[in-house]
Amino acid sequence: MLSRGAMESSLGKLLGQTVSVTVSEDLTDAMRATRSAGYDVFIGPAQVVASAIAHGYELIGSTDAEEPYVLVGRASMNSVAELRSGRLYLPQQDSIYTYMARGVLTANGLSFKDLSKVDFARFPQAGLSAISLRVAEATMVRRDDWESWQKENPGLARVLATSSAVPGGFSVAIKKDLAPDVRSQMVKWFATSARSCGMKLVVQHAELGHYKTVAELGTFTPTSLPGVTVVNAEDVKRLVAQGAVIIDTRTEKEFKQKHIPGARFVPYHEKSLKDVGYVASLDDFSGIKALDSKTPTIFHCNGAECWKSYKASRTAVALGFGKVYWYRGGMPDWETTGQIVAKE
């Protein structure tokens, strides 16, 4: 319902300069634009503005209050893992619903590739009807929508996973390097005059950490891995003292700059997607052949957003390593917890 012409006119008069507004439903392209700083202001759902914040923009606020999203499945289902080979209904491939669903699946060690079918349509709540009609096993919806639907349709579905709080409605971010007076005028306009072009006032102020969490969804590694024990810094020190070997899968440059004392450099050369459905044949981890599969082995890299140690751990399990440990927090966690760092 937003009027592009009204926004251009109102902001143009306020700032005393020509304002050009671009409207797009292609959120993939919008995400790309945030990385190239293609616009001075971004108005969009949480994932778009979260990306902008990470690339030189300042958050103004959002139009609606925060709320979590829920992955809802048939009543007979007990976990996200049961969705493997199942059917998932989602509204639009680049919507916040799809973005949240991808993040929940990844956290549970699944990807869209593990499902038999993913249907994309336009209406979010239709996914709940798809479950009741048995044409889908699960869908992603806002918690408020789920609670309203569940009251009228008790016993037909259940919540399999709940996300953290997500900024609601549209969020707005502005370039940090714009002139201070321009920024302050625009911040005030969004909070007091946005209704003049059919937009809600931007008066909600979610925590920046919640945008960061949204930005990480779908890019961070799963929190668990079958056949592998996830460990922390204290576990690593204990295991190494007991004879375990710790493998650093990062680049040689990173290893020389800093590494965990006693770690062995065995790089994982990654070309495959950062996704649980990655194609291992695209990668090179030939260095694993020099490792003893009978020795307890810990793999690590650059933290939860780095997929190299996750993939290395999976490779080790597939090759029959007896005890595989994954230090998911990796080098960032090692430093944050105040451990000794070695350098070359």
Q: Are 241 and 290 part of one and the same domain?
A: yes
Do 263 and 317 share a domain, yes or no? yes
Identify whether residues 18 and 74 lie together within a single domain.
Answer: no
Task: Say whether both 272 and 308 belong to one domain.
Answer: yes
- Give yes or no: residues 236 and 332 share one domain: yes
Q: What is the pLDDT of residues 44-62, one digit of tens each?
A: 999 999 989 988 899 999 9
As for how many domains the chain has, the answer is 3
Q: Are residues 142 and 235 in the same domain?
A: no
In-domain check, residue 223:
no
271 and 176 in one domain?
A: no
Domain that holds residue 51: 4-64+166-216
Same domain, 129 and 141: yes
Contact 100, 36 (CB under 8 A): no
Based on the fold, state whether residues 319 and 208 are members of the same structural domain: no
The beta strands (E) that lie in the chain are given as 41-44, 57-67, 69-74, 87-91, 117-121, 138-142, 157-162, 166-175, 229-230, 245-248, 264-265, 297-300, 324-327
Residues 237, 322, single domain; the answer is: yes
Domain boundary among 140, 162, 184: 162
For residue 85, what pLDDT is reported?
Answer: 95
Amino acid present at 244: A
Is pTM beyond 0.95 here? no
Whether 341 is in a domain gets the answer: no
Position 218 scores a pLDDT of 63
What was the pLDDT predicted at 39? 94
- Residue 329, in any domain of the structure: yes
Give the strand pairing for 138-142 and 69-74.
antiparallel
Q: Is 32 domain-assigned?
A: yes
Q: What are the pLDDT digits (tens) for 300-325?
A: 999 888 999 999 999 999 999 999 99
| Interatomic CA distance for residues 110 and 142, integer angstroms | 21
| The pLDDT value given to residue 260 | 98
Spatial separation of the C-alpha atoms in residues 240 and 267, rounded to whole Å: 19
The three-point CA angle 222-215-171 to 5° equals: 150
What is the model's pLDDT at position 54?
84
- Can you give the CATH number for the domain in which 306 is found? 3.40.250.10
State whether 52 and 171 are in the same domain: yes
Three-state DSSP class for 29? helix
Final residue before a domain boundary, out of 133, 162, 191: 162
**Do the domain assignments include residue 342?**
no
Q: Pick out the chain residues at pLDDT < 70.
A: 218
Does 283 fall in a domain? yes
User: By C-alpha distance, which of 27, 25, 52 is closest to 40?
Assistant: 52
Q: Find the CATH number of the domain harbouring 129.
A: 3.40.190.10
76 and 60 both lie in a single domain? no
